[in-house]
Amino acid sequence: MASTTQSADPPRKLRLAVLLSGNGTSLENLFEQIDTGLPAEVVCVLSSKKSAFGLRRAESRGIPAIAVPRRDYADVARFNDALHEVLARFEPELVCLLGFLSPFELRGRYAGRALNVHPALIPAFSGQGFYGHHVHEAVLAAGVKQSGATVHFVGDAYDEGPILLQESVPVLDDDSPETLAARVQALERKLVPQAIRLIAENRVRIDGRRTRILPSQDEIQF
């Protein structure tokens, strides 16, 4: 009698919405990670700037790319009305803020379902006004010996919310904001896919302001 084997079901792909404001290098890295097996799919890309090259990156892959310009709205609330109206059309399971320079309101819909990446070790060098090169300039001015990157769940205030992943890089004596930024960005490209994989594998639990990462099936000892 011929035997048959039943293949395992492929892992479920987590539906992602990406919010950005600029070049979209983190988005491109995410695409590359998905191409090599990250269990996720980008269902839409939204930008707070019409000129953001990240929109072109999404379009080149046939992914809906939508500009929601912050300057077109009188206040943050109306801007978020527009963001949430677009997001509702695509029903993402996780919203990823990858270089998004405008406030994103959870509105009870995305609590525990929105991630932000920050180019420093929160709570240091974080909060309103600390973004992009401003962060790295402040790190160098402070004379600290370590900086890094933080992936955290979005909270109700700037750069707050439970931290999921965080790692450091050294600050070198001859660093400029540009050289430090390059090292931090390389770390971000590592941490963001790791965070998405953990969520896709249902291994993250949020307990107040802390997160707990559950072991993978391979790590469980029987």
Active site residue 134: no
**Peptide bond preceding 123 in cis form (omega within 30 of 0):** yes
Measured distance CA(99)–CA(97) in Å, rounded: 6
What pLDDT was estimated at residue 128? 87
Q: For each successive 10 residues of the chain (222 residues), what is the average pLDDT?
A: 43 92 96 98 98 98 98 96 98 97 94 96 93 95 98 92 98 97 97 98 95 82 50
pTM value is 0.91
Candidate list 84, 118, 133, 136, residue with the active-site label: 118
- E strands along 68-109, which residues? 94-97
Measured distance CA(192)–CA(209) in Å, rounded: 19
